[in-house]
Structure 1
């Protein structure tokens, strides 16, 4: 049909009007919205390098016809085609300059003895000659091992590393590497800041989103081998046949990627959905109910991983309700799972009013006496610090305290206390700090990492969990830069000795750009970001001074709640005589839970690392810090430095305009502008609040905080996301 001239003219005017508004409407032609994560496989611009890579991969020989082998074929076709503009040729015949992938069961020339000690997940990548032909061989004892090896090989290409003379052998240092989703069945995500849950329980089991497959791909690419689908504040309905059918559908999708499914369970489920009068773990009928429930699950899902349990914590039911110990509760579930090879991850996040003991000490007091009383398939899951995922905490004293009981690390990937999904905070430095800290449990070198991986005490099983930051937002994590926290968690769960900077640089190459300016600038931002955030939120060891309930923004004034240890004033103890919580021998003596010399170092304000000063000591406002300033002046300077550094981060990010995709650039730009506003709000509110106790002036050279304390205290955020229900 011919379009009339008038219509064509109007159409042209319409198009021109759109472009005239482009400065407001923001047209993004590259359309990089963050969905592809670190698996973008952008074309390698360096033609010489591209040619060198292609020389090694004339064709590809992938042995086997399993679902996993077919996934490897799909991944290579997509990745090599995109990065190298290479039409991937799959051949069943051995050829020169070929990428060969297989197991001893699928390729008879793979030496089984060379793979001893690699288990089911380890792999080798070697440049070698086979039948006189130069090949790159990725071999493993299982197809999942070859999948992990394939992602490692692709990572070499993505980071523009040499693939000449390869001789790589990798095995995971930790057995159980899981994401904990705090997702409810109504799709609300507790402490989630990237939209609704990605699990659409209503449409499952029949409607299987592509996002489920891409989730599994992403996890496999960084070595995560398990996912806990639901909130630790568990709904008992997850164990009913209606929902187990839906869980089965997800498990089927995830299986070829080496990703096992786990479930959080409510301890009182026998009463709530089983019609029983009790959930006492020593009751024979209760034990039988759990045994039959485990049998039912494994009939549907033969590789089901096991249960995660939050018990006798924050109102959740547990064995304590029946006068039983945590070990007796965990062992009942462990016995039900053991015939199937399942495990129990029993959380140590417990604290109770009736203990009449300072909160940071309670997990140790509860679980230390139970060492050696748990079944072999039980891991006690411990948060990295003794309180609750604060911007900075000392390591939990439980690490190194239970040689007969595996301690499973629990990190928070989502940022409940770190500005949600609008603050750029790379958590790799936090994870590294915790894992490399020396507990001295068996002398020097007894790091938290060695406790967690089981090597320090020769534990038979090891684990690391990360509370997921994933949601239904198109870019998965609400902020493209926060994808790096999912990535670094997986990489450190595989190998906790990897450095945070090494992993950050990998992620930048794979997600943002190969340009040296971008890599260097963004790497500097990421590596400094956590310390910057600590400074504008909780410097010098302050902690738990956030807004009540939602945990959003500053709230050092929070008091008069249901219990003292939910308030801020309980933790900072600010008064005319000084500030800080005395956990030294002269106070509540929490330092006694640590091994010497850590105990001795923490006991004195003169020897403790200054970043933990106010965590363990209540000190005068005039106490002289290492800078030579008084404690008051140093505290204020840190708050000001943190806020100023966020402004510098924003300025630094702006220099990258035009060097990375427009959408990526603008998403981060907008978030940094929000972070800048909130950093100054944290600074002003906290400085004004603490000044009323110090009764000292703002240090010379620093401007008086904007606004009044009353204005900051009056701020309300009733619909802040991620609150519990």
Structure 2
């Protein structure tokens, strides 16, 4: 059957106007409104000096940006200005700002105006040029002018790594955006375009490492069958400046090496790992190294052989040393058989080992001592290991913050932790200075983020969760970046530069994480989510084989009080922090109320800073979170004129879910805790929609990411 020409034209035009599905992330390159002369020149009159796979990618990026941002507008080209992109050694131009250029590291870049009519992007390396080009394009897209003094940036953190908790069967632990993007079955024979797009997105925000496999490791990744698949991905990522890492299962010598032990001090085991490392580097000459989860949640480790974490890490570090690989050894070590507060166990395990790790080991520490809660005090190890490089581990995927449907911009969480003062060298010793190495002179520095990426067309499930990937990259590059700037930049790059939209949604983003804390875990409550999948409220969860996997272990609610006493009268976890922090957080009068129930067991009648009692404050915080979620849903409805319909409707649907589930959280938690406080709900707090039995018996089905 033939279509009439008019019908074909209508169909074609409708496809041309198809809505935005979010696949382009923050690399939209939509037309600039009223472009300035320098922007037109940069995108139409440029020269790139050099030849390499990375330079080819850079040129393609400029072409793509030019087509999207200005060519569709058919602007009048300016010949008075030009853009030159070149490594420093090839510039061949006198009177450069050499002092600033000399201070750039290999990944650093300079963007500056030369002789009033030439814009220059330069670096010591091709990868630095790629980073600088992406930054320039972001300035152009957001309508930001190049400062008169130029932009000279080097990353403050060396290893800026995404940790994929992806399994070889393509399931993703704590993944809420579909399956793993790594199609192991098709590799290495088929290279999906998405691998290039993934690398491109990471390079655009300065991420330079990818851990391909879950920390709950599978030894098969170390076999030749899989190493050739890893090699194929490494070949894709290399021109984008990204190294690959894999997780090393501690028992691999037994599982795939036919040894009878995995004892890290056994000579045969050490030789096995040395040979395995040599084999890996034959496939991947620039292989980054190993990430290891050991002695935690069922994973094997050096404890199986009465060895220390340093014994285990150093064995692997020796195997990688001659290849310049590193070991990222996770400090997430706790044991249900240890009769102590879980908050204390990692510190107790690692503090005595300070200075006993080899130079190519970096200890990877979660931002808090429990497990990526909506809010946690910073991990005490960050103030306790001056002789051992520590890297930050943030969770980008929202295991405890509503999975894929709850808007929670995590930059304020990351920023809050990085700004906390450890007092490791007195006042003015923030976590950020530990992470960038400046406080203790670490030779290795790093930041890891547990990825939220999957096969969903928009990569992250919720469109706004792309912002958390973006924010992680920006803060890994510079831990002193602020959440406000990151939010505004992401909005302008991803949706529109319309000031009404940007200002409105920036405020929602910046307040969204606090909103989630309000309707989930206010005033320092923690780990009261449902068991296993952690989706929805479960303050009643108790029993099972592990007390530290239950909610009642953490909130300890009774008819008199609620909260976990971590002062000297309780578990004494506070003693792991500096004396200045102990003094402030250990006192009911001075502890920040956001940490109140984290460190104190507090009477229901205890008066808080507003003069009202704990129960009323708790109830009002829950209600506040619900009202904020509803307000966000309503505000979003006013944003329809500013963006495409597909993303608008998708986000609107999720915001409605969030508002409904915020009420679910409030009702369930207040009913449960109310049976202990025996107090009525204060004025302004809505009565629950159902009784407690309803919420306790509600079982969500098919929750992903377990």
Where on the TM-score scale, by shorter chain, does this alignment land: which range? over 0.9
> Contact 2:31 / 2:73 at 8 angstroms: preserved in 1?
no
The one of 107, 113, 127 equivalent to 1:121 is 107
Query: Is it true that 1:247 corresponds to 2:247 in the alignment?
Result: no
The one of 47, 51, 65 equivalent to 1:79 is 65
Using the TM superposition, name which of 417-426 and 95-104 deviates more: 95-104
Paired position in structure 2 for 1:376: 359
Paired position in structure 2 for 1:109: 93
Paired position in structure 2 for 1:63: 49
The CA distance in 2 between the partners of 1:512 and 1:349, in whole Å, is 38
Deviations 1:54-74 (A, max 9, x none): 145552111111000111100
The CA distance in 2 between the partners of 1:225 and 1:683, in whole Å, is 41
Paired position in structure 2 for 1:100: 84
The one of 279, 292, 314 equivalent to 2:297 is 314
Q: Match of 2:561, SS?
A: coil
CA RMSD of aligned residues (A): 2.1
Query: Is it true that 1:458 corresponds to 2:444 in the alignment?
Result: no
Query: Is it true that 1:527 corresponds to 2:513 in the alignment?
Result: no
The CA distance in 2 between the partners of 1:332 and 1:117, in whole Å, is 36
The one of 594, 597, 600 equivalent to 2:577 is 594
Number of residue pairs matched by the alignment = 698
> Contact 1:80 / 1:88 at 8 angstroms: preserved in 2?
no
> Contact 2:538 / 2:551 at 8 angstroms: preserved in 1?
yes
The one of 7, 29, 34 equivalent to 2:22 is 34
Q: Match of 2:640, SS?
A: coil
> Contact 1:571 / 1:581 at 8 angstroms: preserved in 2?
yes
The CA distance in 1 between the partners of 2:381 and 2:2, in whole Å, is 78
Deviations 1:248-271 (A, max 9, x none): 000000000000000011000000
Quote how far apart the aligned CAs of 1:114 are: 5.3
Q: How does 1:414-453 map to 2 (within 5 A)?
A: 414-453=397-436
Quote how far apart the aligned CAs of 1:707 are: 0.2
Q: Which ranges in structure 2 are unaligned for 5 or more consecutive residues?
A: none
Q: Which ranges in structure 1 are unaligned for 5 or more consecutive residues?
A: 19-25, 90-94
Q: Match of 1:354, SS?
A: coil
Deviations 1:521-565 (A, max 9, x none): 110110010000000000000000000000000000000111111
The CA distance in 2 between the partners of 1:219 and 1:361, in whole Å, is 35
Quote how far apart the aligned CAs of 1:88 are: 12
Paired position in structure 1 for 2:196: 213
Quote how far apart the aligned CAs of 1:309 are: 0.1
Q: Match of 2:157, SS?
A: coil
Structure 1 residues 197 and 436: CA distance shift in structure 2, 3 A: same
Structure 1 residues 70 and 2: CA distance shift in structure 2, 3 A: closer
Deviations 1:480-537 (A, max 9, x none): 1000000000000000111001000000000011101100111011001000000000
Q: Match of 2:558, SS?
A: coil
> Contact 1:195 / 1:473 at 8 angstroms: preserved in 2?
yes
Quote how far apart the aligned CAs of 1:102 are: 1.2
Quote how far apart the aligned CAs of 1:80 are: 1.8
> Contact 1:543 / 1:615 at 8 angstroms: preserved in 2?
yes
> Contact 1:237 / 1:273 at 8 angstroms: preserved in 2?
yes
The CA distance in 2 between the partners of 1:164 and 1:229, in whole Å, is 38
The one of 250, 266, 277 equivalent to 1:267 is 250
Paired position in structure 1 for 2:544: 561
Query: Is it true that 1:545 corresponds to 2:533 in the alignment?
Result: no
What's the TM-score once normalised by structure 1's chain length? 0.94
Q: How does 1:72-221 map to 2 (within 5 A)?
A: 72-85=58-71, 97-109=81-93, 115-129=101-115, 134-163=117-146, 165=148, 167-221=150-204
What's the TM-score once normalised by structure 2's chain length? 0.96
> Contact 1:126 / 1:167 at 8 angstroms: preserved in 2?
yes
The CA distance in 2 between the partners of 1:237 and 1:58, in whole Å, is 49
Paired position in structure 1 for 2:698: 715
The CA distance in 2 between the partners of 1:56 and 1:158, in whole Å, is 12
